[in-house]
Amino acid sequence: MNIDNLLADRTRKMSVNTIREILKVVAQPGMVSLAGGIPAPESFPIDILQKLTQSVLEQYGPASLQYDPTEGFAPLRHALAKDLAARKGIQTAPEDIFIASGSQGVLDAAGKVFISKGDPVAVESPTYLGAIQAFDPYEPRYVTMTSDDQGLIPESLEKVLDKEPVKFIYLVPTFQNPTGRTIPLERRQCIADIIQARDVLLIEDDPYGDLRYAGQPIPPIKTLAPEHVIYVSTLSKVFAPGLRIGYYIAPQKVRDWLVIVKQGVDLHTSTFNQALAAEYIQGGHLEKHLPHIIRLYQPKKDAMLSALEAYLPEAFTWSKPEGGMFVWVEGPAGYDMQALYHRCIKQNVAFVPGQFFFTDPAAGTHTMRLNFTMADEATIDAAIKKLADVIKASSI
């Protein structure tokens, strides 16, 4: 049948996700992929899971398999409230925590609640691609803010707010995807002051905050401007992404809309998985397992930073994250990272050209994102060496 005339206006503007296509190439056998953005399977608490399923079925019985309120499974909301207070300094009542189908679900809901066609939304440049994919169908106009090694520059936020009545600001302040950058406390305080003074809404996306391998934790902006921040996080990196459990804490007036919208999208997030997550946190397993994940990733991160130091030509610079999953590399101005990508995959090393993380299609052509969670240390070292060899071979 003829479909073209049935598509919505928004759909006509959509295109196949290029990263998706890259990841298909990358899945080819023999490829060393620094392109992905997924946790190592060894990080999953698989030996605990059998116990968790048993305890869920015993403790909650059929209720763990039944329809459940859109807001979230009550025992998980209680477990998260305790955990957030203890580990992140976020003081919040269980009724103020809402569960979503991955943090992606919160981003989609926020897009639906706030964005009318053409509305300005402020994003970092580069920013998280999944957020762009969540917001795009609601047809916002992106306004970009400038970042440096310490993440978002507060003055840049102020300049944007001077000119644009943004619906919200979207930030990943800690170990950002794609750059690995973290906004220090001083800047967070500035940002909190600005959004409070101007009464604007910030979506603080914090999927990686728990994955800190060095340095001291920095409080979420949520703790500095509680009434102006939708704090979003996920259990994907500290439990298992395949369970699709995200959560958020939103200002009072926002949360009802997010719940109404979610109800139309998926009624609620899997009760069974929420019950597993509740048992995982409540039973102390998260606290016990997290150090294992950190011990797994820390040497991988170190291996990547050492290899970049050892092999990359001088004209290249990169971020030095204390956690998360990514390192951001910048070539000299004008460097064609897409061309390098094609040369590298012929050598069985893959990364993501950084330009895909910019809302401006002309930006970031000299950048790349590297992931260090999937390969082992020796493989990371060898892959970065090969990458450097390809760079050197083609630049002479």
Residues 63-102 within binding reach of a copy of itself (CB under 8 A): 63-68, 101-102
Please pick, from the candidates 222, 228, 300, 369, the single residue that binds a copy of itself as defined by CB under 8 A. Answer: 228
Strands 352-353 and 367-371: antiparallel
What DSSP character marks residue 321?
-
Residue 269 to residue 266: CA distance in whole angstroms: 7
CB of 361 to a copy of itself, least distance (A): 18
**Among 184-192, 237-245, 278-286, 322-330, the segment contacting a copy of itself (CB under 8 A):** 237-245
CB of 277 to a copy of itself, least distance (A): 11
Helices (H), ranges, 61-184: 74-88, 102-114, 129-135, 154-163
Give strand pairing partners of 321.
none
| Nearer CB in complex with a copy of itself: 131/308 | 131
Residues 29-48 that bind a copy of itself (CB under 8 A): 38-39, 41-42, 44, 46
**Among 78-86, 135-143, 337-345, 347-355, the segment contacting a copy of itself (CB under 8 A):** 135-143
Residues 265-304 that bind a copy of itself (CB under 8 A): 265-273
User: Could you tell me which residues come within 8 angstroms of residue 280 by beta carbon, excluding any fewer than 6 positions away?
Assistant: 45, 48, 52, 235, 239, 286
CB of 132 to a copy of itself, least distance (A): 9
Let me know if 137 is exposed, middle or buried by CB neighbors in 10 A (0-12, 13-18, 19+): middle
CA dihedral 380, 174, 242, 368 (to 10 degrees): -40
**Encoded tokens for 233:** 């996080």
Q: Is 20 in the site for a copy of itself (CB under 8 A)?
A: yes
| Nearer CB in complex with a copy of itself: 137/283 | 137
**Among 90-98, 133-141, 143-151, 322-330, the segment contacting a copy of itself (CB under 8 A):** 133-141
CB of 167 to a copy of itself, least distance (A): 5
**Among 262-270, 307-315, 336-344, 375-383, the segment contacting a copy of itself (CB under 8 A):** 262-270
Give strand pairing partners of 122.
143, 169
Q: Sign of dihedral through CA atoms 203, 207, 212, 213?
A: negative
Please pick, from the candidates 25, 53, 141, 389, the single residue that binds a copy of itself as defined by CB under 8 A. Answer: 53
